Chain A
Amino acid sequence: MQTGRVAPVLIRFPPNCNQDLYQIFVKMKTFFKFVNYTLVTLLVIIAAILTYVAIPIFGNKALIVRSGSMEPTVKAGDLIVVNLAKGINSPLPKDIGKYKEGDIIAFKGDKNANVVTTHRVVSKRVTNSKILYQTQGDANNSPDTQLVSEDLIIGKSVLTIPKAGELFAFAKTKQGFALLVLIPALLVIGIESINLVKEIIKIMRARRMLLEDPQFEVEKGALLGPISLRVLFPFVLGIMFFHNSYAFFSDSASSLTNTFITAQIFSSPTPTPTPSPSPSPSPVVQVRSVVINEIMWAGSQGNSADEWIELRNMTGNAIDLSSWVVENLGEGSGPARIITIPLGHIISANGLFLISNDIESTSIISVTPDFQTSGVSLQNNGEQLTLKNNLGNTIDIANINGAWFFGDDPPGQTPKKSMERNSVPGDGTVSTNWHTATTQTNIDVGAGESATPKAVNSAP
């Protein structure tokens, strides 16, 4: 007689045993047999499902979702099954794509095919006869920046198994691999090796016993192997076929309504010798109608605060500079460093206008500044100055956001040199339109500075 294959030990009941106890034993045996078959059936079903979703030959691919931008539909740690693109029977005509808006698709990166993203299709467009999908994570506030072409799409999500990804992801770590695959498999090998030895011994013993008693019944040992292998199977499949997918998080920050407006007319100013006796503000904005003509950014020998800038009227008309500003000329830091020219200040036709930190008596300049303000402060490491009219229109820009193009600030008690605009001013942000002063005009006697406040610049 042969009893159930998985019964660990054959229990023999003598003929005069307690019948109630025997009945309980029979029922328990039936119950455990049922549980065993149920477990085996369950494992077989799970293995079959996993085989179906894991092995690409069936048209599916299982992906472990590593990040949560598809929440709440797909959470980090879920396992999703995508159906390969060729298997999709989309209700839409082929010329507008296999996937429709709302589908969750998995796609490879255009730069790195190993990086798989799972996001939802939010729109699609046709460019050069090629269908491109715009995707977005449900939890993201903006679409992905890259459009997805169909050749990069792995498939459409057809099934989500919550939390299963975490288990398989753990199996893909070194610790998980050891715990869920290596150790159980070695355990199976160990136990089965012991069983093997035991069975061989039994054979040898049984042969001896059978010779003595033909009715001898053989006891059965434990057989963990096949069941353990079935448990191992999903993890091995997971390691071999389940890959990572990312529902990448993204967020956007915007700089809204940036506006750039060109001047009303572009002029190429040419100085004209005809002076105008009275100021007549120009009705139109003329860029470089007034230019920043000279910058004494280094101060003077022994007085680093002896700084000034000179404006030059490039037109034949006097211009009212009231409420004009020079940005970055003032004290402190940041764009708030603005010097505003007070009301009533006019630059004569083709004339020069001096804005100075010091008055004549405390400065090396030997002429009276047109506008003196103790707020004039220039950074020695360079900066960009912007001249704007009373309407806020940019009239001229000098230097770049960086070191001064020219001028000289030698260390110690050595005379300084200003930075002068060329006689034909050109674009003030281009270094070739500037030079270092080489002559001295309107400077105190004895001062060695090279500069020309309120005088024609040195050549060129």
Chain B
Amino acid sequence: MGFPLNSRIALSIASIAAAAALIVGATFAFFSDTSTSEENTFSTGSADLQIAPDEESPGTYANDISAPAINETGLFPGFEKDYVFWLKNNSSALIGLDLTAEFDNVVTIENADIANQMTVAFTCRTDSDDDGTLDTTFPTSGPSSINAWDAGSGVLGSLAPDDGDEDGSGPDEAECTAHVALPSSLDNTYANSSVKFDGVFTGTQTP
């Protein structure tokens, strides 16, 4: 008969050594892993970004401002005007949203270069401390031409998770201004031209 006790001791020592190595390795991995988090969060539900057209304060939010959102005629060289609208994070998921803007379905009549000449800049403000005052202004995106907005998107800022109200207060809503301008140097070849486009504002879950 053999005497197994020595191999069992060896097994115990190996187990202790392996467990210690696991602790050391796992601890190192745990603290060096940037994705390790205090909160074990999983986002479920859905994202919902809404828009309202009012100037003074947001009115009724909707998924879209139906056509035509803006119908401006008689523009002249040097034309400049601000158009104010509101964006709101209405997501059922408890998530923040990073906002971007881009244009879609750009159509021109007469001088197609009007879409290169007309510029739009977006500036959004939000009430970060929920005291009813728009106290945080995100960096202006643009000015860029209509065609540039069609080719790529620009960053507008971010919205916090929905706070349950629609009164313009709180970091879940933002007042955005689109500053539209035409160069004063335009000649008559740009007269009687038009440009039509959809403004598409996208909220993507904040990482």
What is A's interface to B at a CB cutoff of 8 Å?
1-2, 66-69, 71, 75-77, 109, 112, 114-115, 139-140, 142, 144-145, 166, 169-170, 172-174, 176-177, 181-182, 185-186, 188-189, 192-193, 195-196, 199-200, 202-203, 206, 218, 220, 223, 225-226, 228-229, 232-233, 235-236, 239-240, 243-244, 246, 248-266, 285, 287-288, 333-335, 384, 388-389, 391-395, 397, 400-401, 426-427, 429-430
In contact, B5 and A203 (Cβ under 8 angstroms): yes
In contact, B204 and A144 (Cβ under 8 angstroms): yes
CA distance A229 to B192 in the complex (A): 79
A residues near B194, Cβ cutoff 8 Å: 259-262
B residues near A397, Cβ cutoff 8 Å: 79-81
- Name B60-105 residues within 8 Å CB distance of A: 62-82, 85, 87, 91, 93, 95, 97, 100, 102, 104
B residues near A262, Cβ cutoff 8 Å: 74-76, 114, 182, 186, 190-194
In contact, B192 and A265 (Cβ under 8 angstroms): yes
Q: Chain B 28-47 against A: per-residue CB contact (8 Å), 1 yes, 0 no?
A: 01100111111111111111
Query: Measured between C-beta atoms, what is the minimum distance from A184 to chain B in Å?
Result: 8
Q: Chain B 1-43 against A: per-residue CB contact (8 Å), 1 yes, 0 no?
A: 1111110110111011011101101110110011111111111
Query: Measured between C-beta atoms, what is the minimum distance from B177 to chain A in Å?
Result: 8
Partner of A145, one of B37, B40, B100: B100
In contact, A199 and B8 (Cβ under 8 angstroms): yes
Provide a sorted-by-A list of 13 A–B residue pairs whose CB atoms are within 8 angstroms: A68-B44, A76-B42, A196-B9, A199-B12, A249-B95, A255-B201, A259-B196, A261-B75, A263-B191, A334-B56, A400-B82, A427-B77, A429-B78
Q: Contacts A254-B65, A427-B78, A429-B80; is A229 near B15 (CB within 8 Å)?
A: yes
CA distance A253 to B91 in the complex (A): 12
Asked whether B199 is an interface residue with its Cβ less than 8 Å from the other chain, the reply is yes
Asked whether B207 is an interface residue with its Cβ less than 8 Å from the other chain, the reply is yes
B residues near A69, Cβ cutoff 8 Å: 47, 205
In contact, A260 and B184 (Cβ under 8 angstroms): no
A residues near B29, Cβ cutoff 8 Å: 236, 239-240
Query: Measured between C-beta atoms, what is the minimum distance from A175 to chain B in Å?
Result: 8
Query: Measured between C-beta atoms, what is the minimum distance from B136 to chain A in Å?
Result: 19
In contact, B85 and A334 (Cβ under 8 angstroms): no
In contact, A260 and B50 (Cβ under 8 angstroms): no
A residues near B2, Cβ cutoff 8 Å: 2
A residues near B16, Cβ cutoff 8 Å: 188-189, 192-193, 196, 225
Query: Measured between C-beta atoms, what is the minimum distance from B116 to chain A in Å?
Result: 13
In contact, B15 and A261 (Cβ under 8 angstroms): no
In contact, B207 and A266 (Cβ under 8 angstroms): no
B residues near A189, Cβ cutoff 8 Å: 16, 19-20
Asked whether B157 is an interface residue with its Cβ less than 8 Å from the other chain, the reply is no
Q: Contacts A68-B45, A169-B40, A263-B76; is A229 near B22 (CB within 8 Å)?
A: yes
What is B's interface to A at a CB cutoff of 8 Å?
1-6, 8-9, 11-13, 15-16, 18-20, 22-23, 25-27, 29-30, 33-51, 53-56, 62-82, 85, 87, 91, 93, 95, 97, 100, 102, 104, 114, 118, 153, 180, 182, 184, 186-188, 190-205, 207
A residues near B180, Cβ cutoff 8 Å: 260
A residues near B91, Cβ cutoff 8 Å: 249, 251
By CB atoms of chain A within 10 A, which of B38, B63, B193, B207 has the most? B207
CA distance A401 to B178 in the complex (A): 12
Partner of A115, one of B6, B37, B76, B207: B207
Query: Measured between C-beta atoms, what is the minimum distance from A438 to chain B in Å?
Result: 26
B residues near A288, Cβ cutoff 8 Å: 76
CA distance A212 to B91 in the complex (A): 80
Q: Contacts A239-B26, A249-B204, A253-B87; is A114 near B13 (CB within 8 Å)?
A: no
Query: Measured between C-beta atoms, what is the minimum distance from B2 to chain A in Å?
Result: 7
In contact, B78 and A430 (Cβ under 8 angstroms): yes
In contact, B74 and A263 (Cβ under 8 angstroms): yes
Partner of B46, one of A1, A109, A139, A181: A139
A residues near B207, Cβ cutoff 8 Å: 109, 112, 115, 246, 248
CA distance A186 to B191 in the complex (A): 81
In this complex, what residue of A is CB-closest to B35? A244
Query: Measured between C-beta atoms, what is the minimum distance from A1 to chain B in Å?
Result: 7
In contact, A249 and B118 (Cβ under 8 angstroms): no
In this complex, what residue of A is CB-closest to B13? A196
In contact, B78 and A67 (Cβ under 8 angstroms): no
In contact, B195 and A236 (Cβ under 8 angstroms): no
B residues near A228, Cβ cutoff 8 Å: 19
Partner of B68, one of A176, A220, A251, A259: A259
CA distance A199 to B95 in the complex (A): 56
Query: Measured between C-beta atoms, what is the minimum distance from A226 to chain B in Å?
Result: 6
Partner of A253, one of B25, B186, B201: B201
A residues near B55, Cβ cutoff 8 Å: 334-335
For the complex with contacts A236-B26, A262-B75, A262-B114, 17 further pairs of A-B residues with Cβ separation under 8 Å are A2-B4, A69-B47, A177-B26, A192-B12, A203-B6, A225-B19, A246-B43, A250-B202, A251-B47, A257-B68, A257-B69, A257-B198, A261-B73, A261-B194, A266-B190, A393-B73, A395-B74
